[in-house]
Amino acid sequence: MTYHQFSNDLGEPYGSFEVFFTCGSFEPDGPEGFESGWYWVAGFPGCLPDGDPSGPFQTEQEAIDDALA
């Protein structure tokens, strides 16, 4: 799990997101389940996530690139 910052067009930071890997251990066949892979979710360290995770991605870098797009 790693934290990164969003930044605007001027390079000024304005928020953060977490990148993490899951092996599909969250009921992968259920309605709330996750597939194995890398995900990112907006939020600050020590706080609850701000929304649902985005993913899965094949690599950590792909998740970071998607968050920053």
Tens digits of per-residue pLDDT, 12-56? 777 889 999 988 766 545 556 678 899 999 988 788 888 889 999
- Domain carrying residue 18: 2-68
Q: How far apart are the first and last CA of the chain?
A: 20
Contact criterion met (CB below 8 Å) for 16 and 8? no
Alpha-carbon distance of 49 to 22, in angstroms, equals 16
Which DSSP helix (H) or strand (E) runs through 51?
none
Contact criterion met (CB below 8 Å) for 25 and 5? no
Length of the chain equals 69
For the chain, the domain total comes to 1
Strand partners, 4: 17
